[in-house]
Amino acid sequence: MKIDCTEFGSITINGTTYLHDILISMSGDVVKRKKKLSKKYYGTSHIISREEAEFIYEKNCKTLIVGAGQYGNVTLSPEAAEFFEHHDCRVILQPTPEAIETYNKTRDKTIGLFHVTC
């Protein structure tokens, strides 16, 4: 699994381009991010809710890499941060172009969440 690149509004993984936010599971499955899990609480997908954190997390995950958008606008809510801390899951939050580089270097029990716009 290799993330090739990102542009505003898209991300390309192993030659396939996605025009929406994505979640990459520990097994490498790519699914569309369920932004509504956060949007219903905050009115935006730029704050990750505890409910979305629970959806993202996989048992025994050691690292979550969050591509926070091209300009780094995505953050974790305090409740989501506490959830990941409670599960001993380190969160690396970076602008999406940087997060892609980090993800491509990290393999051990890692999940990736990538916001492709702002």
Integer Cα distance of 48 and 37 in angstroms: 8
What is the rounded distance in angstroms from the CA atom of residue 103 to the CA atom of residue 95? 12
Residue 114 near residue 21 (C-beta atoms within 8 A):
yes
Question: Residues 65-84: pLDDT tens digits?
Answer: 999 999 999 999 999 999 99
Tell me: pLDDT of 12 over 80. yes
Answer yes or no: CATH 3.40.1230.10 is held by domain 3-115. Answer: yes
| Adjacent-strand bridge partners of 16 | 13
Query: Tokens 């396939």 identify what position?
Result: 16
pTM (global) more than 0.85: yes
Query: Nearest to residue 71, comparing CAs of 92, 46, 48, 90?
Result: 46
φ/ψ (deg, to 5) at 114: -125, 120
